[in-house]
Amino acid sequence: MKITSLTTYVVPPRWLFLKIETDAGIVGWGEPVIEGRAASVAAAVEELADYLVGKDPRRVEEHWTVLYRSGFYRGGGIHMSALAGIDQALWDITGRAHGAPVHELLGGRVRDRIKVYSWIGGDRPDQTAAAALAAVERGFTAVKMNGPEELQYLDTRDKVERVVANVAAVREAVGPDVGIGVDFHGRVHRPMARVLLEALAPYHLMFVEEPVLSEHVDGIADLLRASATPIALGERLFSRWDFKDVITSGVVDVIQPDLSHAGGITEVRKIAAMAEAYDIAVAPHCPLGPIALAACLQLDAVAYNAVIQEQSLGIHYNTGNDLLDYVVDPSVFAYSEGMVDIPRGPGLGIEVDEDYVRERAAVGHRWRNPVWRHPDGSVAEW
Ligand SMILES: O=C(O)[C@@H](O)[C@H](O)[C@H](O)CO
Ligand SMILES: [Mg+2]
């Protein structure tokens, strides 16, 4: 079997899909994207296609190794995301060639389903609390919300109180049994991270995410190690080599590699194994589309330390299309009791609705990250 072509589709809300075709008629799908840079990743995929066309798609590890190592320059968000989507599509083809789900080729599943969380939005405490209740009514047992908006190195107490009021309203609304993740989004600098973590401790959060940028965790390592609240991060790390200092630092409880950013199933499986050796859990990042989620679920099936899965159903900041729009049969993601089943079909386990993908690719998107400003005019982390 030989690869004959790679085709990318820029589709709303902000995603990029990849189709790899073979001379055997087997087609595989991947989702190589980094939010806000879809066109750059598409160009990287096109460049890597020169090597892949004519090769046997089933030598996934070999192709991954060539595309990672032989480029001389390593890593980076664009390259590792391109490689991630290619890796997913190659696994999809390989599974279909064997008539087996990817997780079976990886040794078989250690779980049947995995807990998921839903994003909740809202500017005011009453809105956020209502969004949390709506998520619980839809069956979710865990939610994730934003922490502070723009925050200066040293900022005022009212900003802290606003975050606390928001989180308190959600905890009050959902009770003690629902997991609440709070995403600081790397917006918070060291001094305010310290203040906020302490202020949020009484609400017994599931985790605080990116309390500071990953590159600054060493600056508050003692505080994070001592924190009663579990610390999660990793959506902006792209390889084993990016993760190794974070994993060995002892400051992180949950890593969040993204299967569409960090080299795909092949690489994240290795990252998960590294984390397991340090008793660190994995919660794959995925505010993306159905192919990315399907890839995550194949990994969740085989990684013992996978603990909860992000998924984008109804996510408030993805507008234009939702998670289930691009699959032939939306029930392939079987949600129940706050969990989703591991799809058992061949390959990644989902059937992509190609006609609809073409239709939406004709619309495309130019999604860009917003540029936020502090009151003094300087740029703020989004
Ligand atoms: O944890 C999350 O899902 C967010 O941090 C998103 O990755 C971010 O808004 C970019 O899409
Ligand atoms: Mg995040």
Find out whether 235 and 212 touch, Cβ atoms under 8 Å. no
**Cα 265 to ligand 1 centre (Å):** 19
Does 146 lie in the same domain as 33? no
DSSP class per residue in 126-194: HHHHHHHHHHHHTT-SEEEEE--SS--SS--HHHHHHHHHHHHHHHHHH-TTSEEEEE-TT---HHHHH
**Cα 293 to ligand 1 centre (Å):** 14
- Note the ligand closest to the C-alpha atom of 381: 1
What pLDDT does 88 receive? 99
35, 149, 315: which to mutate for ligand 1, most atoms within 8 A of CB? 35
Find out whether 289 and 31 touch, Cβ atoms under 8 Å. yes
Find out whether 324 and 290 touch, Cβ atoms under 8 Å. yes
Find out whether 15 and 288 touch, Cβ atoms under 8 Å. yes
Does 155 lie in the same domain as 248? yes
Domain range enclosing 97: 3-103
Residue 313, by phi and psi: left (phi above 0), alpha (psi -120 to 50) or beta?
Answer: beta
What pLDDT tens digit does each residue of the chain (382 aa) get? 999 999 999 999 999 999 999 999 999 999 999 999 999 999 999 999 999 999 999 999 999 999 999 999 998 999 999 999 999 999 999 999 999 999 999 999 999 999 999 999 998 999 999 999 999 999 999 999 999 999 999 999 999 999 999 999 999 999 999 999 999 999 999 999 999 999 999 999 999 999 999 999 998 999 999 999 999 999 999 999 999 999 999 999 999 999 999 999 999 999 999 999 999 999 999 999 999 999 999 999 999 999 999 999 988 888 899 999 999 999 999 999 999 999 999 999 999 999 999 999 999 999 999 999 999 999 999 9
CATH number for 131 = 3.20.20.120
Number of domains in the chain: 2
Say how far apart CA 350 and CA 129 lie, in whole Å. 34
Question: Which residue owns the Cα nearest ligand 1 atom 6?
Answer: 287
Residue 336 pairs with which residues in a beta bridge? 339
The residues that are catalytic are 185, 285
Does 151 lie in the same domain as 74? no
**Cα 312 to ligand 2 centre (Å):** 12
Does 73 lie in the same domain as 172? no
Does 208 lie in the same domain as 93? no
Does 287 lie in the same domain as 155? yes
Residue 44, by phi and psi: left (phi above 0), alpha (psi -120 to 50) or beta?
Answer: alpha
CA-CA-CA-CA dihedral for 296, 297, 299, 301, to nearest 10: 170
What pLDDT does 317 receive? 83
Does 133 lie in the same domain as 85? no
Does 337 lie in the same domain as 193? yes
> Closest ligand 1 atom, CA of 209?
1
183, 207, 382: which to mutate for ligand 1, most atoms within 8 A of CB? 183
- Residue whose structure tokens are 């629902």: 178
CATH number for 46 = 3.30.390.10
User: What pTM was computed for the model?
Assistant: 0.97
**Would residue 368 count as lying in a domain?**
no
Residues 6+ apart with CB under 8 A from 375: none
For the record, the structure tokens of 333 come out as 């993601």
Of 103, 120, 140, the last residue of a domain is 103
For the record, the structure tokens of 194 come out as 């310290």
Does 211 lie in the same domain as 313? yes
CA-CA-CA-CA dihedral for 17, 114, 183, 382, to nearest 10: 0
Question: Which residue owns the Cα nearest ligand 1 atom 9?
Answer: 185
What one-letter code names the amino acid at 380? A
Find out whether 211 and 147 touch, Cβ atoms under 8 Å. no
Question: Which residue owns the Cα nearest ligand 1 atom 10?
Answer: 35
> Closest ligand 1 atom, CA of 317?
9
**Cα 268 to ligand 2 centre (Å):** 17
Closest CA to 33 of 73, 91, 78, 63: 78
Which residues form ligand 1's pocket by a CB distance below 6 Å? 35, 183, 185, 235, 285, 287, 310
